[in-house]
Chains A and B, each alone.
Chain A
Amino acid sequence: MSSRKKLTHLEALESEAIHIMREVVAEFRNPVMLYSIGKDSSVMLHLARKAFYPGPLPFPLLHVDTGYKFKEMIEFRDTFTKKIGARLLVHRNEKAIAKGAHPNKLGVGRCCGALKTNALLEALETHEFDAAFGGARRDEERSRAKERIYSFRDEFGQWDPRNQRPELWNLYNSRIHEGESVRVFPLSNWTEMDIWEYIQQENIEITPLYFAKERPMVKRGTQLIPAEGATLLEGEEPEMVMSRFRTLGCSPCTGAVHSDATTLNDIVKEAVLATRSERETRIIDHGASSMEDKKKEGYF
Chain B
Amino acid sequence: MQAIEENHTETENELFNCEAELLHFATAGSVDDGKSTLIGRLLVDAKGVYEDQLNAAENFNQKKGGEGLDLALLTDGLQAEREQGITIDVAYRYFATPKRKFIIADTPGHEQYTRNMVTGASTADLAIVLIDARKGLLTQSFRHAYLSNLLGIRHIVVAINKMDLVDYSEEVYNQIHADVSDFASRLAMPRVECVPLSALQGDMVVSRGDNMDWYTGRTLLDILETTPISESVTEKSFRFPVQLVSRPQTDELHDFRGYMGRIEAGVVNVGDEITVFPSGLQSKIKEILTFDGQLDSAFAPQSVTLTLEDEIDITRGDMLVSGTQTPRVEKQLRAKLCWLNEEPLAVRKKYELKHGTNSVKALITNIEYKIDVNTLAHDESVEELQLNEIAEVTIKVQKPLVCDAYTDNRTTGNFILIDTETNNTVAAGMISAE
The residues of A with any CB-CB pair to B shorter than 8 Å are 1-2, 5-16, 18-19, 22-23, 25-26, 49-56, 138-139, 142-143, 145-146, 161-162, 164-171, 173, 175-177, 188-189, 191, 193-194, 197, 200-201, 268-269, 272-277, 280, 288-289, 292
Q: A49-B291, A146-B91, A277-B52 are in contact. Are A162 and B80 (CB under 8 A)?
A: yes
Q: Count chain A CB atoms within 10 A of each CB in B118, B244, B415 and give the residue with the most.
A: B244
Complex: how many Å from CA A143 to CA B56? 14
* Inter-subunit contact A173/B423 (CB<8 Å): yes
User: Do A55 and B246 touch across chains, with their CB atoms under 8 A apart?
Assistant: yes
For the complex with contacts A8-B19, A54-B246, A273-B12, 20 further pairs of A-B residues with Cβ separation under 8 Å are A5-B234, A14-B303, A19-B303, A22-B261, A23-B243, A50-B290, A52-B246, A53-B291, A54-B256, A55-B248, A165-B424, A169-B410, A170-B123, A170-B411, A171-B414, A176-B423, A189-B103, A274-B50, A275-B4, A275-B51
Q: Give the residue name and chain of the A residue nearest to B228 (CB).
A: A6
Contact indicator B295/A1 (Cβ below 8 Å): yes
Q: Are A171 and B9 in contact (CB under 8 A)?
A: no
In whole Å, how far is A149's beta carbon from the nearest beta carbon of chain B? Answer: 10
A54 CB contacts on chain B under 8 angstroms: 246, 248, 253, 256, 258, 289, 305
Are A166 and B93 in contact, CB atoms less than 8 angstroms apart?
Answer: no
Which A residue sits closest to B8, measured CB to CB? A273
Partner of B77, one of A145, A171, A177, A268: A145
Say yes or no: B303 contacts A168, CB within 8 Å.
no
B22 touches A13 (CB 8 A): yes
Whether A191 and B244, one on each chain, are in contact in the complex, defined by CB atoms closer than 8 angstroms, is no
The answer to whether A53 and B8 have CB atoms under 8 Å apart is no
Cα separation A143 to B76 with both chains bound (whole Å) = 9
Cβ of B119 < 8 Å from any Cβ of A? yes
Q: Are A292 and B78 in contact (CB under 8 A)?
A: yes
* 4 A-B pairs with the lowest CB-CB distances in the bound complex, closest first: A55-B248, A277-B50, A9-B22, A50-B291
Who on chain B is nearest to A271 by CB?
Answer: B16
| A170-B409 Cα distance, complex, nearest whole Å | 13
> In the complex, A142→B116 CA distance in Å?
18
Point out residues on B near A: beta carbons under 8 Å: 4-5, 8-9, 12, 15-16, 18-22, 50-53, 76-80, 88-94, 96, 100-101, 103, 115-116, 118-119, 122-123, 229, 234, 243-244, 246-248, 250, 253, 256, 258, 260-262, 267, 289-292, 295-297, 299, 301-303, 305, 316, 340, 352, 354-357, 410-411, 414-416, 418, 420, 423-425, 428
Inter-chain contact B21/A289, CB cutoff 8 Å: no
CA distance A246 to B256 in the complex (A): 42
A6–B21 touching, CB < 8 Å: yes
A166–B429 CA distance with the chains assembled, in angstroms: 13
Pick from A161, A165, A268, A289: contact of B16, CB below 8 A.
A268
Tell me which of A19, A175, A189 contacts B420 (CB under 8 A).
A175
Cβ of A191 and Cβ of B301 under 8 Å apart?
no
Min distance, Cβ B430 to any Cβ of chain A, angstroms: 10
Which of A166, A176, A189 has most chain B Cβ within 10 Å? A166
* Contact (Cβ within 8 A) A189 B94: yes
Q: Give the docked Cα–Cα distance between A165 and B16 (Å).
A: 35
Q: A161 contacts B89, CB within 8 Å?
A: yes
Contact of B248 (CB < 8 Å), options: A56, A162, A170: A56
Quick one: which of A16, A146, A194, A277 has the most chain B CB within 10 A?
Answer: A146
* Contact B354–A173 (Cβ < 8 Å): yes
| Contact across chains for B425 and A2 when beta carbons are under 8 A apart | no
| Residue from B20, B92, B420 in contact with A9 in the complex, judged by beta carbons closer than 8 Å | B20
In angstroms, Cα B21 to Cα A194, docked, is 12
Q: A146-B77, A275-B8 are in contact. Are A51 and B303 (CB under 8 A)?
A: yes
CB < 8 Å neighbour of B301 from A7, A8, A197, A292 = A7
In the complex, residue of chain B having the shortest beta-carbon distance to the beta carbon of A167: B119
Whether A171 pairs with B415 at a CB distance below 8 angstroms is yes
Residues in B whose Cβ lies below 8 Å from that of A175: 352, 418, 420, 423
A38 to chain B, nearest CB (A): 19
Point out the residues of chain A lying under 8 angstroms from B115, CB to CB: 166
Across the interface, do B260 and A22 meet the contact criterion of CB distance under 8 Å?
A: yes
Contact B248 A145 (CB under 8 A): no
Of A26, A164, A274, which is within 8 A of B243 by CB? Answer: A26
Contact A276 B50 (CB under 8 A): yes
Given contacts A175-B420, A197-B18, contact A273 B9 (CB under 8 A): yes
Q: Can you offer 18 A-B residue contacts whose CB atoms are under 8 A?
A: A9-B100, A9-B101, A18-B303, A23-B243, A142-B76, A146-B78, A162-B78, A167-B119, A168-B425, A169-B123, A171-B416, A173-B416, A173-B418, A176-B423, A191-B96, A197-B18, A269-B12, A288-B79
Contact B248 A138 (CB under 8 A): no
Bound form: Cα–Cα A164–B89 in Å: 9
Which chain A positions have C-beta within 8 A of B118? 166, 168
CA of A273 to CA of B4 in the docked complex: distance in angstroms? 11
Measured in the bound complex, the distance between the Cα atoms of B77 and A289 in whole Å is 9
- CB–CB A26/B21 < 8 A: no
Question: Given A5, A55, A273, A277, which contacts B299 in the complex, CB threshold below 8 Å?
Answer: A5
- B386 CB to nearest chain A CB (Å): 15
Chain A residues, CB < 8 A from B93: 139, 145
Residues of B close to A145: CB separation below 8 A: 77, 91-93
Residues of A within 8 A of B90 (CB): 146
Chain A residues closer than 8 Å to B5, beta-carbon distance: 275
Known: A50-B290, A173-B354. A168 touches B78 (CB 8 A): no
| B92 lies within 8 A of A188 (CB) | yes
- Chain A neighbourhood of B250, CB < 8 A: 55-56
Whether A169 lies near B77 (C-beta < 8 A) is: no
Nearest A residue to B19 via CB reads A8
Contact status A53-B290, CB under 8 Å: yes
B248 touching A5 by the CB < 8 A rule? Answer: no
State the Cβ distance, A74 to closest chain B Cβ, in Å.
27
**Inter-chain contacts of A191 with B (CB < 8 A):** 94, 96, 101
Q: List the A side residues contacting B243 at CB < 8 Å.
A: 19, 22-23, 26
B253 and A276 within 8 A (CB): no
Which of the residues B122, B302, B416 comes within 8 Å of A7, measured between beta carbons? Answer: B302
Task: Establish whether residues B411 and A138, one from each chain, have CB atoms under 8 Å apart when the complex forms.
Answer: no
Q: Given A53-B291, A54-B253: A277 and B78 within 8 A (CB)?
A: no
What are the residues of chain B within 8 A of A193 when measuring CB–CB? 15, 96
In the complex, what residues of B have CB within 8 A of residue A164's CB? Answer: 89
Q: Which of B50, B234, B411 contacts A169 (CB 8 A)?
A: B411
In the bound complex, residues from chain B placing their C-beta under 8 Å from that of A143 are 77-78
Q: Which residues of A contact B53 (CB under 8 A)?
A: 277
- Please determine whether B77 and A15 come into contact, CB atoms closer than 8 angstroms: no
CB atoms of A166 and B119 under 8 A apart: yes
